[in-house]
Structure 1
Amino acid sequence: MGVIRPVMRYHGGKFRLAPWVIRHFPPHRCYVEPYGGAAGVLVQKDRAYAEVYNDLDGDVVNLFRVLRSPSDRALLVEQLTLTPYARDEFEAAYEVAEDPVERARRTLIRAEMGFGSAGATKGATGFRVDTRRVYGTAQDLWRRLPATLSAVGERLSGVMIENRPALDVIRQHDGPDVLFYIDPPYIPEARQPGRFYAHEMSREDHLALLDLLTGGGARWHGDIERVPKRAVSEPSCQLADEYDHSPHCRRSWRCRADGVLVAQPGLRCGAGWWRSLPVGWADRCCIGGQN
């Protein structure tokens, strides 16, 4: 059975956008996600000869490791089936758990029972009580979660799961026939105030990523297409200008953009910049602009 819904609600997740992303992937032998998050693209694409998932968030990485193990996954599914959709469960899920399966259970509770998309990474959020939802209540989605976990776990079989700095992973796996899907955390200036990621990236971190992607022997090239000013916040435009004026970026990248739906108040639209590269791809930013 294929994966038909995301494993969890995650800020900036690309599960709904994944089919569009995958259609633009070039042929590759090795596939790497240095900023894996909820793996919304990985779990929907066809298998490659070698695949690497990486994220710095230990809770998220632990969840995927548990799902990859048939015995641990079966225990997690059993425990989730017995877990009621309850405020007390949600509040208790913020406590630290040493057991990997219990830690994974609490990660999913925060992600699915929390209001908004920051629960998985222990961001500030409240208990989700949307009983009037048209396409299924949060409680009903919780009931159906175990079936999703089984499908995701099967897809993760054979995937290398890492918990390392993204730039180290890029350097290690760079080479011919490698496809990097790079979807880093949004810069704080380009989104609503608040903590959404366990490990944020500053403007300087994004520029270090750009420097790696455009330098050395990786042969990353590109040309960024303009997005209407009203669609992005001013700091985001300034950061995009850094990409626009990079001598490597201005040569031969091909850009494709698509609108994305965002659920946060104050964010009306978003855009993604995509570059088709000789060695890999970069999804530089999917930025929601305040308007």
Structure 2
Amino acid sequence: DLQDDSFLRRGAPTMHRRVGPSGAVNVGNATNLLGLSCVIDNARFLGSKTCELIAEETERMMRHSLEGQAIELAWIRDNVCNLRPRDYLHMCLKKTSWYSFIYPMRVGAIVAQGEQAAERFCQLGWYVGAAFQIQDDVLNLTGDYQQYRKEIGGDLREGKRTLMLIRLLRVCTHEERRALESYLATPRKARTRSDLIWVRQLMDRYDAIEFARRAARQLAGAALIEALVTFRAVPDSGAKQFIFDLVSYVVNRTR
């Protein structure tokens, strides 16, 4: 939120808007420390080898996430407008999939069954994470604020290279592309509401949002197949059903 200068999160002002950038950074550091404390508190139960593996997984996840965030921020900073969908998906893999899905799945597998069990969850986590991120981007344009609880249209104001924007830049006319590039080169505070409406109307004209929805559904379908293969030998249970329900949730959620 601080790096994106987002205004709202879950219907409330973001942390840096409430306590300032320095306070927000400190809170973020504190929450990381709380996560580390959970491992330390359970070290005797987990064993030294498992704790070491969790630390390695955490380092790997943080490296991927930081690289993904750096990629996205650089696209905005350098006004990169020649991206392809696969560039966006690569960024999603690093920024969203590793942090929110691959890492938790891998750590859970390590705790339950050891290091070898973790590898089977990379593909599943990648598909679910990418579908989740695309749906989040779609909701930022089309969501109901009362449910989404974040600033509607915030990604457009920030100039984020979402899958919809990348698609639009690739299919619009030459004149429209030049105007879009000019808009994206404009400082965020200088972008007007009429600018946002114009970009959103272009997305509707070229079905860019539906293009993103289809991509999210395709990724969710791939995730479901991967889950069925991964868990085919696991007896039915509430925990197993949760994984399948998660795949459906990421593309059908409204918040």
Pairwise same-fold verdict (TM > 0.5): no
Q: What TM-score do the two structures reach when normalised by structure 1? A: 0.26
User: When you count helix as a share of all residues, which structure comes out higher?
Assistant: 2
User: When you count strand as a share of all residues, which structure comes out higher?
Assistant: 1
Rg bigger for which structure?
2
